[in-house]
């Protein structure tokens, strides 16, 4: 019986209401949480996804369970979300796991690693392929656990002041690149910088940066990178299908009623689906606008891609030798990814390639 129907039925008799009302009240306690995020409010895709999650929780609980969202910097710096959740300063936070690779490189897997799985395979691995279990085993060391709460899809390769034609063009390049993939860029001679989204444009404009990457056409257009760096590259080999998580403090999670835990997890899945659809809706027209405005679209050369792949595999191998958590998560992810791509090439790759040719025609 639905909750509202149950309440209505309980109201028909004094005896029924005397039993039912306290039971319902106890099962729907009033809880208020705060969710800082790593994103500025202007990004209605990625900030919007976190907001969708908060609203879904409220709607599913008649606003008994409320989560208030805070943009980057309002109560917590954009790159300190996990720290705030770990310390219990806030109950929950929405961020990219790889921002915290400085604590441990294993944090990279919660979002994306260079030449990792695409959007579907990343989510398949996390949801049903063992990813959720191995990652939350790791996150437990930091007094938090992760709920899937977004995915950007395959990202773009960034904005550059000059063309990148050879591997040598990466040497000395000062580039804002999120999280762990910056260490791959270092192997190729680049100089990675980790800067929160709202601070990238000023650094690019002043020349502190030679290049930057964020997500894709829609978000990048909003942040204005095209105004100071005309060369736009594809693909973002470091983010083939980046997951975003809502990190929850373990003590706060344990104290939630079981049905509130279920609501929170399902709200994350809803936000995840919403965000993917939002990017698929908004990126195509945004790219057309950018190209019409003078943006020069390029694809990384095969030598640049192969050198980047070799550097990434070398780095992952080096870290696996000294970090058991990294090795365990990497092996779990790669086993799932290999099987997935073997299947994708049978049907989906052939179908998509055919449809792309006809769409161009």
Residue 25 has pLDDT above 70, yes or no: no
Please tell me the predicted confidence (pLDDT) of residue 5: 43
Last-in-domain residue among 281, 309, 343? 281
Please tell me the predicted confidence (pLDDT) of residue 196: 78
Residues 134 and 207 in one domain: no
Residue 229 has pLDDT above 90, yes or no: yes
pLDDT tens-digit series, residues 268-318 = 999 999 999 999 999 999 999 999 999 999 999 999 999 999 999 999 999
- For residue 198, what pLDDT band results from cuts at 50, 70 and 90? confident
Please tell me the predicted confidence (pLDDT) of residue 61: 97
Residue 55 has pLDDT above 80, yes or no: yes
- Computed from CA positions of residues 131, 281, 285, 357, in that sequence, does the dihedral angle turn out positive or negative? positive
What CATH number has the domain bearing residue 330? 3.40.190.10
Residues 50 and 144 in one domain: yes
pLDDT tens-digit series, residues 132-146 = 999 999 999 999 999
Residue 262 has pLDDT above 50, yes or no: yes
Please tell me the predicted confidence (pLDDT) of residue 194: 82
Residues 183 and 77 in one domain: no
Residue 21 is assigned to a structural domain of this protein: no
Q: How far apart are CA 316 and CA 247, in angstroms?
A: 25
Residues 259 and 303 in one domain: no
Residue 63 has pLDDT above 70, yes or no: yes
Residues 39 and 186 in one domain: no
What CATH number has the domain bearing residue 139? 3.40.190.170
Residue 351 has pLDDT above 80, yes or no: yes
Please tell me the predicted confidence (pLDDT) of residue 26: 58
Residue 181 is assigned to a structural domain of this protein: yes
Residues 126 and 270 in one domain: yes
Average pLDDT on 109-137 reads 97
Residue 13 is assigned to a structural domain of this protein: no
Residue 19 has pLDDT above 50, yes or no: no
Last-in-domain residue among 281, 307, 340? 281
Residues 166 and 220 in one domain: yes
Average pLDDT on 14-43 reads 72
> What is the crossing angle of helices 119-128 and 131-139, to 10°?
70
Q: How many residues does the chain have?
A: 361
Residue 38 has pLDDT above 70, yes or no: yes
Residues 271 and 303 in one domain: no
Residue 276 is assigned to a structural domain of this protein: yes
Last-in-domain residue among 281, 305, 340? 281
Number of domains making up the chain: 2
> Backbone phi, then psi, for 331, in 5-degree steps?
-65, -40
Residues 128 and 63 in one domain: yes
Provide the pairing of β-strand 243-249 with 92-95: antiparallel
Least confident of 62-76, 93-107, 194-208, 304-318: 194-208
Q: Model pTM?
A: 0.89
Residue 252 has pLDDT above 80, yes or no: yes
Please tell me the predicted confidence (pLDDT) of residue 48: 98
Residues 73 and 170 in one domain: no
Residues 82 and 140 in one domain: yes
Task: Tell me the residue range of the domain where 226 lies.
Answer: 158-238+296-360
Average pLDDT on 238-250 reads 97
Please tell me the predicted confidence (pLDDT) of residue 67: 98
- For residue 360, what pLDDT band results from cuts at 50, 70 and 90? confident
Q: What is the percent of the chain where pLDDT is above 90? A: 88
Residue 288 is assigned to a structural domain of this protein: no
Average pLDDT on 160-174 reads 96
Residue 190 is assigned to a structural domain of this protein: yes
354 or 21, higher pLDDT: 354
196 or 168, higher pLDDT: 168
| CA-to-CA separations, 305 to 86, 173, 184, 236, 262, in angstroms, rounded | 37, 16, 12, 10, 42
Please tell me the predicted confidence (pLDDT) of residue 180: 83
Residues 106 and 232 in one domain: no
Residue 326 has pLDDT above 50, yes or no: yes
**Strands lying side by side in the sheet with 296-299:** 191-193, 174-176, 211-212, 158-160, 231-234, 296-299
Q: How confident is the prediction for the chain on average, in pLDDT? A: 92
Please tell me the predicted confidence (pLDDT) of residue 197: 78
Residue 11 is assigned to a structural domain of this protein: no
Residue 17 is assigned to a structural domain of this protein: no
- For residue 46, what pLDDT band results from cuts at 50, 70 and 90? very high
| CA-to-CA separations, 208 to 10, 181, 199, 231, in angstroms, rounded | 67, 20, 11, 17
What letter does residue 104 receive in the DSSP assignment? -
Distance from the first to the final alpha carbon of the chain = 54
Q: How far apart are CA 276 and CA 271, in angstroms?
A: 9
């Amino acid at each position: 019986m639905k909750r509202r129907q149950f309440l209505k039925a309980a109201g028909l008799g004094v005896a029924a209401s005397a039993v039912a009302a306290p039971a319902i009240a106890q099962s729907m306690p009033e809880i208020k949480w705060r969710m800082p995020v790593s994103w500025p409010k202007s990004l209605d895709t990625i900030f919007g996804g976190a907001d969708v999650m908060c609203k879904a929780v409220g709607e599913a609980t008649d606003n008994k369970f409320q989560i208030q969202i805070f943009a980057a910097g309002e109560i917590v710096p954009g790159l300190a979300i996990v720290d705030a959740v770990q310390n219990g300063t806030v109950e929950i936070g929405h961020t990219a796991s790889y921002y915290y690779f400085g604590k441990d490189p294993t944090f990279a897997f919660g979002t994306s690693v260079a030449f990792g799985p695409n959007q579907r395979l990343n989510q398949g691995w996390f949801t049903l392929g063992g990813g959720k279990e191995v990652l939350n085993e790791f996150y437990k060391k930091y007094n938090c656990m992760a709920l899937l709460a977004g995915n950007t899809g395959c990202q773009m390769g960034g904005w550059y002041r000059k063309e990148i034609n050879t591997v040598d063009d990466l040497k000395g390049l000062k580039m804002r690149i999120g999280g762990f993939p910056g260490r791959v860029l270092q192997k190729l001679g680049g100089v990675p910088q980790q800067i929160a989204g709202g601070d990238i444009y000023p650094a690019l404009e002043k020349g502190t940066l030679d290049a930057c990457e964020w997500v894709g056409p829609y978000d990048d257009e909003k942040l204005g990178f095209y105004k100071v760096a005309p060369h736009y590259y594809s693909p973002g080999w470091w983010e083939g299908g980046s997951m975003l998580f809502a990190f929850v403090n373990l003590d706060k999670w344990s104290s939630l009623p079981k049905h509130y835990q279920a609501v929170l997890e399902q709200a994350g899945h809803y936000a995840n689906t919403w965000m993917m659809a939002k990017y698929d809706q908004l990126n195509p027209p945004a790219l057309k606008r950018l190209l019409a405005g003078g943006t020069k679209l390029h694809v990384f050369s095969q030598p640049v891609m192969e050198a980047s792949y070799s550097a990434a595999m070398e780095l992952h191998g080096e870290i696996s030798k000294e970090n058991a958590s990294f090795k365990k998560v990497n092996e779990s992810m790669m086993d799932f990814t290999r099987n997935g791509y073997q299947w994708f090439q049978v049907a989906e790759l052939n179908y998509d390639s055919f449809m792309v040719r006809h769409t161009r025609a």
